Amino acid sequence: MSRNTETVETYLAGFRRNDHAQILSCLTDDIEWTVFGHFHLVGKRAYEAAIEGPGFAGPPRLEVVRMVEQDDVVMAELTGSATRDTGEEMRMSMAEVFVMRDGKIAERRAWVIELTENDHR
């Protein structure tokens, strides 16, 4: 496993537990995080504030479907679910692009699609 892929795996393990220290240790200080259709933020302080998104309770459950790497970019397809603060479960399909710098995540670009009917809708 490459250094970049190992960093992404460590990051995802931390995200599954809402382990802020582990997540932040994988990021550059000038991290950029975009969830298309939802938000864009810059910097570790803003990132940490957004780890536990509003309207959700507890860490997400995430499974890697596949992960590929080219140069300093790691791309991951994930499936998962998260519990809303109302107790309702949100199922989702995600595509994540991690742009790496010196073995750390410098940019995270995410597409999150909520699934309401089955595994593709």
Written as tens digits, the pLDDT of the chain (121 aa) is: 899 999 999 999 999 999 999 999 999 999 999 999 999 999 999 999 999 888 899 899 999 999 999 999 999 999 999 999 999 999 999 999 999 999 999 999 999 999 999 988 9
Query: Tokens standing for 11?
Result: 């990051």
Give Cα separations from 22 to 8, 26, 42, 90 (angstroms).
11, 7, 18, 25
CATH 3.10.450.50 for domain 3-115, yes or no, is yes
Helix (H, G, I), strand (E, B) or coil at 118: coil
Neighbours of 119 (CB within 10 A): 8
The pLDDT, as a whole number, for residue 52 is 85
Q: Whole-model pTM? A: 0.94
pLDDT given at position 54: 84
In this predicted structure, what is the pLDDT of residue 33?
Answer: 97
